[in-house]
Amino acid sequence: MKVLGLDLSLRGTGICLLEGEPDRDPTFRTELVPQPTANTVEEKVLRLVKITERIVSLINGENPDYIIIEAPTKGQVWQQAAIGEVHGVVKVQVYLASGKFPWVKEATEIRKGVFGKIERVFVTYADRSGKQKRRVSYGEIPGAHGKKKRATVKDLIEGRLKAQGLTFNTQDEMDAYVTARFCWGKVTASLRGGSDDTKETKDGQP
């Protein structure tokens, strides 16, 4: 079985291919498709061409059984428009190349499916004007110069993967791996008699 996991972004697209027998730990390889800043229409089109050419090449060469994409997260308006364009073009090219609708899931659901519930708390702090606000906290981790820094959810995920002996060159590749593992786990569960929702065609976007 082969699973292709994709983490699409404006700075670099993470790709992960899992391969092996269901219900066993698969082998995997990851790569990054770097994308330079695109300001003009020509640059934006060429960025889309570069991303889709690599993904289509992998689909044609590897013929994955399942293809999963991490849904875009909420961001600034201009980012939403640009990343939405990338996601739309990639989904169409995936379908044209494979005849399959890609499975699209939100990052929060993917992380929970792979790692279980990641504990977080809400802390109160004062902004520059003295106004009290609340934010999510995942605790603290060692930072530069012996100081501690506020941990992000991706810091915790990176730590859990390192504990398994897994390291990645970029965060995009790490996210693609986690996305692919989520799909692998769902397929394995379905083969054991659970529900198979990998055929879902909804985007799963917020």
| pLDDT (0 to 100) of residue 140 | 72
DSSP-derived secondary structure letter, 175? H
Q: Which CATH number fits domain 2-191: 3.90.110.10, 3.90.1150.10, 3.30.420.10, 3.20.20.70?
A: 3.30.420.10
What is the arithmetic mean of pLDDT over 178-199? 81
Provide the pLDDT for residue 79: 76
Mean pLDDT of 184-193: 88
Tens-place pLDDT, residues 95-111: 999 999 999 999 989 99
Model confidence, pTM? 0.82
Per-residue confidence (pLDDT) for residue 194, from 0 to 100: 57
Q: How far apart are the first and last CA of the chain?
A: 30
Q: What is the pLDDT of residue 122?
A: 65
Cα–Cα distance, 155 to 169 (Å, whole number) = 14
- pLDDT for 56 equals 97
* 151-167 residues labelled b (16+ CB within 10 A) or e (exposed): beeeebbbebbeeeeee
Per-residue confidence (pLDDT) for residue 88, from 0 to 100 = 94
For residue 90, the cross-strand partners are none
Which residues fall within 8 angstroms of residue 138, CB to CB, at 6 or more apart?
118, 119, 120, 150, 151, 152, 153, 155, 156
What residue spans define the domains of the chain?
A: 2-191
Contact 16, 158 (CB under 8 A): no
